[in-house]
Amino acid sequence: MGVVILAGPSGSGKSHLAARLGWPVLRLDDFYRDADAAGMPLSTLGIVDWDHPSSWDSVNAVGAIAELCASGRVEVPVYDITTSARTGTQTLAAPGGRFIAEGLFAPVIVDACRDAGLLDAAICLTRHRVPTFGLRLTRDLREGRKPPWVLVRRGWRLMQDEPRIVAEAVVHGCEPMTPRQARELLLSSS
């Protein structure tokens, strides 16, 4: 049993691809720390910097992957982005062996998963920045994730930062590809 880590900029299609494949999905965004946790990083917008790795619990995310690989089941947090807090837990099962771990900070854990022998593949989804900006903004507004002014300003900053995000994922060993290429690769290898 092993994990397919699915990385990419916010709005690049990670959750959509994972849902289309129908595999069990470990939502790495559920490992965000609560907004009122001590030491949360702040952005230049004066709010918690949700794009900073220290807003996220990488140790528990890797632990959940290891447990899911070892036993086929794991208890994971449920995180509500609108309230910026964990709201409970749920059990995730991967009876077929392979599963996807997807989220914004996926590249941060690729090395740890590889070193622990847990990694099947690491992929970074890429597409043109403008459609990604539009898809992200539409999703975030539809879900009411944050106030609109925050979503637009944050989205603009993420669009400008997208080449760096992809480059960092590649440095960690993620293979860059479009959502369609990733889907074809994963379906052919399952």
In this prediction, residue 127 carries a pLDDT of 84
- Does 1 have pLDDT greater than 70? no
Domains of the chain, residue spans: 2-189
pLDDT digits (tens, 9 = 90+) for 50-94: 878 889 999 999 999 999 999 999 999 999 888 888 999 999 999
Question: Token pair for residue 178?
Answer: 């479009």
pTM for the model: 0.82
In whole angstroms, what is the distance from residue 138 CA to residue 41 CA?
A: 26
pLDDT digits (tens, 9 = 90+) for 140-186: 778 777 788 777 787 777 777 788 888 999 999 999 999 999 999 99
Q: Checking DSSP bridges between strand 85-93 and strand 73-80, what pairing results, if any?
A: antiparallel
The β-bridge partners of 190 are: none
Vertex 125 angle, CA 89 and 112, to 5° = 55
CATH number of 2-189: 3.40.50.300
Cβ contact 121:177 at 8 Å: no
In whole angstroms, what is the distance from residue 45 CA to residue 19 CA?
A: 32
Residue for token pair 């509500």: 80
